[in-house]
Amino acid sequence: MYKELVNVSGFRMVEAAARLKSYSKAAEELHVTQAAISQQIRKLEGQLGCKLFYRKGRSMHVTRQGAVLNEAICTGFNCIVDGLKKIQYESLAGELTITTTQSFASLVLVPRMWKFAMTYPDITLKIVTSKETEDLRQGTIDVAIRYGRTPYPEYHCEILFDDPIVPLCSPSVAKQLDATDPGSLKRCWLIDYAAKEYWPQWFEHVSIAPDISHCQVLRVNNIDVAMSAVLAGHGVCLGSAKQAAHYIEQGMLVQPYSNGLEPGAQYRLMYDLASPRVLRIKTFSDWLQRELANI
């Protein structure tokens, strides 16, 4: 059976030479000599009764017959790799390590982890907070949830939400505001961010003078500190209502005005499609998408 496959090593050499257009580069990649590449390919050509390569300048190119053979070799190798991945995949049960920002972890993930644990008791979630771009192929991290719109073409990406930036405050502060006049916000403490000011943009968006130089402004480093301030009744911050949904559902925060600033807060979930934990990852991803869709 499969008597034509007695020279499998020769097929690897054909694939490498065709892809690299060079016997010497193929030899370097496969850790053999150039003479070994030439000998194996001549042997195949003798068995098949046709030329597989021809020289053009300093490069080697496949003949028509060589192209047919190389396509079949690539298809076969891909099928073998797919099979190996299937038997190497881990089962659904086990640990899943997720990296995300401190704010997403504290505002979105942690308040809902009990729901995931109830639904999938065999999957143990490990949350690592970091702003760094982790290597999801070679490291210990399985899933990354990141803020922003930076492209990561090497990974599979799913948008979790893209939410307008809106005012958020405690119910007690909301009572001090005029529900018909967003300009009344200027009489409150405004919580803004040290890296970028959002309040002038928001006021301009609602046709109010953007100057906040005469307002009381507290500038903080991140949304976590901003949320802590408004939960304590200290002013109004700008943020994502979806990100703050847990506190809104508990009645601890309200959104006093519906006007939202766009582009807003975007979070994406990323992972390596070739991960051996892909079944576990997809289970978590599908669950999180369902949770956020209900907000």
What does 238-278 look like in DSSP terms, one character per residue? EEETTTTHHHHHTTS-B------EEEEEEEEEEE-TT-TTH
164 shares a domain with 122: yes
Question: In the chain, helix, strand, coil percent, each to 5?
Answer: 45, 20, 35
One digit per residue, the tens of pLDDT, for the chain of length 295 reads: 455 666 678 899 999 999 999 999 999 999 999 999 999 999 999 888 999 999 999 999 999 999 999 999 999 888 887 777 666 667 788 999 999 988 889 888 998 999 999 999 999 999 998 877 778 887 789 999 988 888 888 899 999 988 898 999 999 999 999 989 999 999 999 998 888 888 999 999 999 999 988 989 899 888 878 888 998 889 999 988 888 888 898 999 999 998 888 888 888 999 999 888 999 999 999 999 999 888 7
Q: Residues 154, 70: one domain?
A: no
The confidence score (pLDDT) of residue 13 equals 92
> What per-residue confidence (pLDDT) applies to 1?
46
Identify the pLDDT of residue 161.
Answer: 87
Last residue of a domain, one of 40, 67, 88: 88
CA–CA dist 159, 151 (Å, integer): 12
Whether 178 and 286 map to the same domain: the answer is yes
**Domain total for the chain?**
2
On whether the CB atoms of residues 103 and 94 are closer than 8 A, the answer is no
- 181 and 52 in a common domain: no
- Residue 28: domain span: 3-88
Please report how many Cα atoms fall inside a 13 Å half-sphere around the Cα of residue 122, on the Cβ side: 8
The secondary structure of 27-61 as a DSSP string is HHHHTS-HHHHHHHHHHHHHHHTS--EEEETTEEE
Co-location of 58 and 151 in the same domain: no
In this structure, the answer to whether residues 264 and 206 fall within a common structural domain is: yes
Q: Last residue of some domain: 49, 67, 88?
A: 88
CB-based contact 98:143 (threshold 8 Å): yes
pLDDT at 85: 67
> Are 168 and 255 a contacting pair, CB within 8 Å?
yes
Task: Give the pLDDT of residue 5.
Answer: 64
The answer to whether the CB of 190 falls within 8 A of the CB of 229 is: no
What CATH number did the domain enclosing 200 receive?
3.40.190.290
How many whole angstroms separate alpha carbon 189 and alpha carbon 167? 12
Q: Tell me, yes or no, whether 149 and 73 share the same domain.
A: no
> Which of residues 54, 88, 122 is at a domain's end?
88
User: Do 43 and 157 belong to one domain?
Assistant: no
Q: What is the CA radius of gyration of the chain?
A: 29
Which CATH number is 66's domain given? Answer: 1.10.10.10
- The answer to whether the CB of 255 falls within 8 A of the CB of 149 is no
Q: How far apart are CA 291 and CA 227, in angstroms?
A: 21
Give the distance, in angstroms, between the CA of residue 6 and the centroid of all CA atoms in the same chain.
43
Q: What is the pLDDT of residue 284?
A: 97
Specify whether 144 is located in the same domain as 261.
Answer: yes
Q: What is the pLDDT of residue 6?
A: 61
Q: Are residues 74 and 122 in the same domain?
A: no
Confirm if 167 and 199 have CB atoms less than 8 A apart.
no
Q: CA-to-CA distance for 71 and 85, rounded, in angstroms?
A: 21
- 130, 259: one domain: yes
Contacts of residue 205, defined as CB under 8 A and 6 or more positions apart, other chains included, come to 259, 261
Does residue 276 share a domain with residue 262? yes
